[in-house]
Structure 1
Amino acid sequence: MKNYCYQLIILGKDFDIREAVINSLKDKVEEIGIDFNHFRIINDENFDEYTDASPSFCIYLGRNEENKQFADVELLKKIVVDASLVLPIVQGSLEDFNQCVPKIISTYNGLAVSDQDKDVKVEKIANNILEAFSLLRKNRRVFISYKRDESTSVAIQLYEALERSGFDVFLDTHSIRPSEPFQDELWHRMADSDVVVLLNTSNFLESMWTTKELAMANKLLLGMIVVSWPDHSIKDHRDAEISFPIQLKANDFNYEGKQLDDNVVDTIIENVESIRARTLAARRDNLISNFMKMAKFRGYAPQLDSYKIISMTKNNEEIVLVPAVGIPNSLNYESSSVFIEEIRKKKYEHVYILFDETCIRDYWLNHLKWLDSSLSVETLSILKVQKWLN
């Protein structure tokens, strides 16, 4: 798959954001562990290099153009016709959206960037690009861990704020249906989360359940945002693969101490966005390293390519394993299928999704077995690799 590349197309009129997006994307790609040489940056000057045979994502930079003389419209039409994803990014406010972009993308969901929120939006754009290329999960899942009698109002405040920012948030009082087994579903949802926001109140560790949540988050290698109440700290998050501490002060609260100031909420959301890619990369790398160690110990010779895909020979058959973080679903099967054409060219006979079944409920594992029997891609739990290798 050496010739396979990702095309980031940047069209329109720059408003001092283009290089910031590219640099942020480069940093995140390196964090994930992929060589940035697999990415090609395309603009109006080298558009002849664009091909519809490789994955592409287009950013259109729009500024207010009262005369409607938009840049690169013909090139943009080509991208739209090829059904490539397009993200309009406009300067200032979305209220001026139609004055900033050509009619052909006027119905697209766009993003506004101002001088005040440029850094935050650039990071969000970079994550959006990675999601579009299936290098970062589209399901942006956050788990809120808290002690009900100490921080319920803040937990609900963060739940609502994170939901507004496009995250799928787990909060026990809001996310588990009455008919579901509470604890099983809680662990199941934690296993599929990207980041834990831990509300570290004074008696957080005195609860058996919150202590178990902290231990399980560490076991699953989830990234953590540890929000500590004034005059209180925590050391038990030190085992987390990635952890970001936020120490609150007394003036960070309002409404008689029951909610956080909006600026603090924004900081929490920014850091969730920031560590998400690193958390997923760390969990995937852990899957890969554990598999590689077990396979080599058993005398196999697994190879890891630049896309973090494992290939090896087993029983005289060439196989490929695609690591997946969290709970495999139909999207994992679909995204893995992107590689099937290249895989078949190399005559690999089996494609597996490698995952960790820790905390995943039985009904979902049975669902995966059904998918395995129905599709050309199968799942393999890291917990069953030893038996599979034998």
Structure 2
Amino acid sequence: MKKYCYQLIILGKDFGIKEAIISSLKDKTNEIGIDFSHFKIINVENFDEYTDASPSFCIYLGRYNANKQFSDVELLEKVVVDASLVLPIVQGSLDDFSQCIPELISTYNGLAVSEQDKNVKVEKIVNNILEAFSLLRKNRRVFISYKRDESTGVAIQLYEALEKNGFDVFLDTHSIRSSEPFQDELWHRMADSDVVVLLNTSNFLGSMWTTQELATANKLLLGMIIVSWPEHSIKAHRDAEISFPIQLKDNDFNDENKRLNGNIVNQIIKNVESIRARTLAARRDNLISNFIKIAKSNGYEPQLDSYKIISMTKSNEEIVLVPAVGIPNSLNYESSSSLIKEIKKKDYEHVYILFDETCIRDFWLKHLKWLDSSLTVKTLSILGAQKWLKN
């Protein structure tokens, strides 16, 4: 009987990246606390073990081929017919995309990998895999914290660079509509972020607002990239659960406009990508441990499985709880239901999305209550767990 749940299919012609992807995937699954035995690596040698009954993600590795004689096309057709997600990865540049991959997947959004950016791209590919399997959120949200009169130019530069790399970036001057309550929306967006990029200028902690942002980020257990200006010591990360410091030097800036040079920008993006999985895992594990502690103190015996799903009996009913980091939405309801069915191999009448409502705006909490009244899956805030367990 198979023990794995997730199938990573790797087809095409390797150009020295396959083992790096698998190695990084093992590291990432370890970081987020998922046993790698839940994954099955499928290739041309063992493709007969592939099944359309389990979630799958396919990587097709393409190298330049003037004659367009591509490998593993028949196997790729099977994957495409089964509606599996496919990521074409080509060597070099996207300029040669059509000469590197079969026409069958020519309309798919692909990724180019060169020797120079291999490490950064492998990180991105692995996060893409985990997102496809719902082991990482598909929302890739970054919050930029900065002092306006000291680093607005760099904040806008990073906003544009991170957006270009597929992140949903919060920057107060760009992300809050005029009609919104500024501070409430700011905390709401921070609660739904994965990583904070903090621009640690000389007087960053001299502002009440930036000090509050730092305190709230720490309260929410957000990971931080601390970018400190030259001649300014790194202090802002002292309470952060997960942080990565970058100490800037004078030559890290372009003299003309006092913006960061490209190498530093790429380093920041790489580290945002790198600590994102650890941040989400830390926040999820904190949610789980708090719930289990509360449940046990109330006489329950919750069980945590290797997929990080909690099961327990309450009022003689079987209950499962799926922890969700950030702000739940309707997609969480659907994915939680599908995940439970895939892993447990049966339907549960009582499925809950466990979340933390800290900093979430009232209008969204009302929206979740409306969804709860309309759907079989429900939400449960960790802040209300004590009361729920006593009922």
Which TM-score band (shorter chain)?
over 0.9
1:99-138 CA deviation, whole Å, 9 max, x = no partner?
0001100111100011111111111100000011010011
- 1:381 is matched with which residue? 381
Question: Is it true that 1:277 corresponds to 2:273 in the alignment?
Answer: no
Hey, what does 1:330 align to over in structure 2? Answer: 330
| Aligned residue in 2 for 1:266 | 266
Which amino acid in 2 is paired with 1:82? D
- Residue 256 of structure 1: CA displacement? 4.0
- Look up the match of 1:30: 30
Alpha-carbon shift at residue 97 of structure 1 (Å) = 0.4
Measured after TM superposition, the shift of residue 296 of structure 1 is 0.6
Residue 21 of structure 2: aligned partner: 21
What is the CA distance between 1:233 and its match in structure 2?
A: 1.7
Unaligned residue ranges in structure 2 (runs of 5+): none
Change (3 A) 1:4 1:45: closer
CA distance in 2, matches of 1:340, 1:265: 40
Say how many residue pairs are matched.
390
Once the two structures are superposed, residues 37-88 of structure 1 have per-residue CA deviations (whole angstroms, 9 ceiling, x without a partner) of 0000000010000000000000000001111110000000000000000000
* Alignment partner, residue 372 of structure 2: 372
SS in 1 for 2:24: helix
Quick one: which amino acid aligns to residue 221 of structure 2? L
The TM-score normalised by the length of structure 2 is 0.98
Aligned Cα root-mean-square deviation (Å): 1.3
- Which residue pairs with 1:111 in the alignment? 111
Superposition deviation, residue 255 in structure 1: 3.9
Alignment partner, residue 314 of structure 1 = 314
Q: Is the 8 A contact 1:7 1:50 kept in 2?
A: yes
Q: How far does residue 347 in structure 1 lie from its aligned partner after superposition? A: 6.3
What is aligned with 1:69?
A: 69
Equivalent residue, structure 1, for 2:173: 173
Identity of aligned residues (%): 84
C-alpha distance in structure 2 between counterparts of 1:227 and 1:7, whole Å? 38
C-alpha contact 1:296 1:302 (8 A) present in aligned 2:
yes
Change in 2 beyond 3 A, CA 1:345/1:111: closer
Structure 2 residue identity aligned to 1:386: Q
Offset from partner CA, 1:181-209 (integer Å, 9 cap, x none): 00000000000000000000000001000
Question: CA distance change for structure 1 residues 20 and 106 in 2, over 3 Å: closer, same or farther?
Answer: same
Runs (4+) off by over 4 Å? 342-347
Write the letter of the residue equivalent to 1:268: I
Rate the CA distance shift 1:292–1:2 in 2: closer, same or farther, 3 A.
Answer: farther
**CA–CA distance in 1 between the matches of 2:300 and 2:74?**
52
Task: Give yes or no for contact 1:142–1:170 (8 Å, CA) kept in 2.
Answer: yes
Aligned to 1:304: 304
Residue by residue, what CA displacement relative to the aligned partner does 1:122-162 show, whole Å, maximum 9, x if unpaired?
A: 11100000011010011100000000000000100000000
Q: Which whole-Å CA distance do the structure 2 matches of 1:49 and 1:196 have between them? A: 42
TM-score by length of 1: 0.98
Contact map agreement 1:225 1:268 (CA 8 A) in 2: yes
CA spacing shift, 1:334–1:346, aligned 2, 3 Å: closer
Do the aligned partners of 2:184 and 2:361 also contact (CA within 8 Å) in 1?
Answer: yes
